[in-house]
């Protein structure tokens, strides 16, 4: 099955809520854990056990594991493998973007099923030119993986690039969405190539209907609400509101589990 088909099924069965597994140092401290590999592993595997059997997608942020070197990456490999074993799709948040053989190497690292870091989908940056991502899209097609392209992020620095005008009078963000619309054309029941659009961007004139999924970070603690999600993305094919802190600060596995189950129910149409 393509990633789009797997995601469509997972959302129908479990709901659209995406949980970020982001073990930054402040959270490790709040949990009473040491800011080292031992603390990282305890934190990450506790979250996986609590949420991966109940959500459609988990989204580990690679940087929080990479900061511990090879032993931290080994924990990330466990997070990926055990989350997938529990039935969750893994969207690895790496935001890679390069050209030529380097772009292909990133694709091999994260989308080739023979890699220990193989995930269902990854995030990428298109700002070296959308065509620079072709090796990643080609690998995703070959391995039935997914790709989420930065388009309309909610960080304050984003607009200087994403809102910039293109030669035809549109915006860079709109151009990225147009490319995705082309890549997802005729895909059933859902395209495998998505966009990252912040849940806290307020309003947009861009057409968010491109037959692919939307990752919507900023939901929950960062201010995005269910009303925001419905207002912004009503025409989108599939939306994954994503939150990390709202879930992870609960610490207890039963509390995290109950939170994601309740949120999934609230997000259903």
Catalytic machinery residues: 95
Question: In the chain, where does DSSP find H-type helix?
Answer: 3-14, 25-30, 37-51, 63-66, 70-85, 100-111, 134-143, 159-162, 172-183, 226-233, 245-248, 253-267
Burial 205-233 (b: 16+ CB within 10 A, else e): ebebebbbbbbbbbbbebebeeebbeebb
| Cis preceding linkage at 189, omega within 30 | yes
Alpha-carbon distance values, 255 to 182, 249, 260, 261 (Å): 42, 10, 9, 10
């Amino acid at each position: 099955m393509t990633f789009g088909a797997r995601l469509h099924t997972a959302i129908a069965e479990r709901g659209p809520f995406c949980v970020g597994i982001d073990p930054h140092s402040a959270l490790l401290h709040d949990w009473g854990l040491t800011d080292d590999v031992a603390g990282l592993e305890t934190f990450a595997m506790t979250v996986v056990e609590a949420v991966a059997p109940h959500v459609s997608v988990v989204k580990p942020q690679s940087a929080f594991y990479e900061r511990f070197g090879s032993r931290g990456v080994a924990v990330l490999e466990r997070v990926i493998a055990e989350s997938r074993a529990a039935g969750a799709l893994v969207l690895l948040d790496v935001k890679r973007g390069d050209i030529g053989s380097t772009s292909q190497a990133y694709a091999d690292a994260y989308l080739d099923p023979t890699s220990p870091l193989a995930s269902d989908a990854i995030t990428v940056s298109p700002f070296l030119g959308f065509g620079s991502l072709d090796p990643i899209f080609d690998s995703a097609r070959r391995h039935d993986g997914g790709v989420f392209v930065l388009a309309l992020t909610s960080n304050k620095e984003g607009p200087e690039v994403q809102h910039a005008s293109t030669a035809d009078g549109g915006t860079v963000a709109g151009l990225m969405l147009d490319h995705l619309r082309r890549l997802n054309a005729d895909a059933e029941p859902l395209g495998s190539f998505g966009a990252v659009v912040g849940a806290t961007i307020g309003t947009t004139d861009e057409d968010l209907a491109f037959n692919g999924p939307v990752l919507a970070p900023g939901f929950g603690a960062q201010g995005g609400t269910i009303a925001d999600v419905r207002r912004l993305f009503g025409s989108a094919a599939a939306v994954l509101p994503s939150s990390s802190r709202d879930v992870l600060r609960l610490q207890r596995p039963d509390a995290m589990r109950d939170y994601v189950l309740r949120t999934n129910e609230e997000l259903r149409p």
